[in-house]
Structure 1
Amino acid sequence: MNLYIVRHCKAEGQPPEAPLTEEGFKQAEELPDFFTNKKVERIVSSPFTRAQQSIQPTADQLGIEMELDDRLAERTLSTQPMENWMVNLARTYEDMHLKFEGGESSQEATDRAMAVINELKSDNKDAVIVTHGNLMSLILQHFDNVNGFEKWKDLSNPDVYHLSLDEDMSLKRIWS
């Protein structure tokens, strides 16, 4: 089974309703060609506007109805403003259970993402999931034992990884 993990295209901001930028819409128009020669049977997206807008052209071209799943929404680090949020974010990759006020630990976020992936794996259909940088980096850390914080800093908008969930599990960045 093949899973394509997509980080949304460039967006105007972080709120759930933030749309894509003009450049982001152009990027979203490039994604369908990227998936043309790949077998895709399902598309599951974060409910955030920027994620849906990123993958809608692909869903339209492939004739696949996009499914929304709240478990692919971006992780909330904290509901309180943080002056040193970057340092605190890095700490949450070192201590997967560290949790700030109103936020979600890295482990909690990873667990909800893995629940989606495990359901897709049991369905045994090649799929695209569309999510956000922080959650994507936690997924990558789970499968590849990489430094998730460093991986997060290296992600682009958009970004695409191919995860093969066959006997010889492999994970590879395929967006360039």
Structure 2
Amino acid sequence: MKQIYVIRHCEAEGQPSEAQLTKRGMKQALDLSELLSYIKVDRIISSPYKRAMETIEPLAKNLNIEVEVDSRLTERILSTHNMSDWFENLRNTFEDLELKFEGGESSREAMKRVVEVVEEIFNSNIDNTIIVTHGNLMSLLLKHFNSEYGFEDWKNLSNPDVFLIKNEKNKVTFERIWE
């Protein structure tokens, strides 16, 4: 059985790639490290964004595991232009996976890259992996495995959040394990 712990980064100071964790986010990262220190972890892969790296750093140090960086785990870009109605536009991209805004990527495009990472993990000889990513990309990954997962589920994610994806005999299931 393959297990992938998918982590959404802790509370951060903003959306840019260089945004770091808040003081509360740093405490959350320590809490996350404590929660996950009891599981077997063979590999950690993270988005290169500072908030994702800071989220997993305490656990990686605790387990003495080097964090691999994978740019396919970066947050999905909705558009490169400011959109006053971004919230509604994001909602629409959960219904129409091909919908794409200027300079951005469609849900299908973003989903494809995160699913590639997960499929590579499933096809590897490693059983227990952690991936650290961002809320929208996490939601799209979960939607890939359950088409009912949608915008309202994304809205209910927390910072941090953790889901466990299991692949047992090519049957993929997931559950939320962060309270």
TM-score, normalising length: structure 1: 0.97
Is residue 43 of structure 2 the alignment partner of residue 30 of structure 1? no
Contact 1:90–1:149 (8 Å) recurs in 2: yes
Match of 1:87 in 2: 88
Structure 2 letter corresponding to 1:63: N
CA drift of 1:124 comes to: 3.3
Q: 2:173 aligns with which of 148, 170, 174?
A: 170
CA drift of 1:40 comes to: 0.8
More moved, 100-109 vs 118-127: 118-127
1:37-90 Cα shifts (integer Å, max 9, x gaps):
211100000000000000000100011100000000000000011011001001
* Partner secondary structure for residue 123 of structure 1: coil
Structure 2 letter corresponding to 1:128: I
1:12-54 Cα shifts (integer Å, max 9, x gaps):
0000000000000000011121112211100000000000000
Residues 115-154 of structure 1 mapped to structure 2, 5 A cutoff: 115-125=116-126, 126-154=128-156
Match of 2:57 in 1: 56
Q: How many residues align?
A: 176
Structure 2 letter corresponding to 1:19: Q
Point out 4+ residue stretches in structure 1 off by more than 4 angstroms: none
1:111-152 Cα shifts (integer Å, max 9, x gaps):
000110011111132100000000001011111222321111
Q: Return the alpha-carbon distance in structure 2 between the equivalents of residues 124 and 151 of structure 1.
A: 31
Contact 1:140–1:146 (8 Å) recurs in 2: no
Q: Return the alpha-carbon distance in structure 1 between the equivalents of residues 172 and 147 of structure 2.
A: 13
